[in-house]
Amino acid sequence: YYEHLQQSEKLKTTWQLAAAVAHEIRNPLTVVKGFLQLYESDASTPSDRKSTYRLMMDELNMAEKVISQFLMVAKPDTGEKNTEIIDVGQELQNIVDLMKSYSFLNDSEFFLELESDCQINMDAMEFKQLFINIIKNAIEASSHGQTIKIVNEKENNYIYINVIDSGHGMTKEELQSLGTPFYSLKSKGTGLGMMICYNIVLKYQGTMDIKSEKEKGTAVTVKFPACSI
């Protein structure tokens, strides 16, 4: 069962997001505070402290991750864009080279069909951030030996980029929740990745469509206006 998704209804104002971030950070702070209170009491032994140290560190790392991802989304848009002409095929190749070590974790494999002559005008850092997030999700959804296909093409003055995995996929409900701040089914996920992607895509008049089927896989299609040079 396939389902489409458009980005517009997923966008939250910075204030709504800030409220969600505050809520999200309160939990790790409460955990750490609780442990520190325990440290002060006579009840805590050195071995207790050792075992709770990791837990506290994990909570603080998560809080830090949430804050830094939030700052990426919420950074004031000065209206100025640091755009340049990006060779989409070349840049995707660079990103895949970067992500290869991550895919070794679960033995997923890349299959690339990259075309040259696909140019878009955007901030190179944002292009990278967008596809690192999408490809990272594809890797995390895959298991041993599954392939992740990445294709780009130009059609009618638009550039289409597809990232197709054959991983665990999503139900209709999961797909509808995707992109909502902090929606994550991963134990170490922040649930901000796709929201960051929606924001970047929208900033450059693009669209992002996602199709998914449980146990079959997920296909993400990003479309940007082509840049004429």
Contacting residues for 215 by C-beta, under 8 A, at least 6 apart: 168, 169
Using the minimum distance from each CB to Mg ion, give the nearer residue, 200 or 226.
Answer: 200
d(CA 55, CA 38): 14
Angle at 65 between CA 120 and CA 12, to 5 degrees: 60
Which of ligand ADP, Mg ion, none sits in contact with 135, Cβ below 5 to 8 A by type? Answer: none
Q: State the minimum distance, in angstroms, from the CB of residue 102 to ligand ADP.
A: 13
Residue closest to Mg ion, measured at CB: 193
For residue 53, the minimal CB distance to ligand ADP (Å) is 25
- List the one residue from 137, 142, 146, 212 that touches Mg ion (CB under 5 A): 137
Least gap, CB of 70 to ligand ADP (angstroms):
13
Q: Does 193 bind Mg ion (CB under 5 A)?
A: yes
Burial 182-198 (b: 16+ CB within 10 A, else e): ebbeeeeebbbbbbbbb
Residues that bind ligand ADP (CB under 6 A): 133, 137-138, 141, 165, 167-170, 178, 183-186, 189-194, 218
- Record the tokens describing residue 77, joined without a space: 């848009």
Q: Which is nearer to ligand ADP, 28 or 169 (CB)?
A: 169
Determine contact, residues 154/115, Cβ cutoff 8 Å: yes
Tokens linked to 75: 């950074």
- Give the footprint of Mg ion on this chain (CB under 5 A): 137, 193
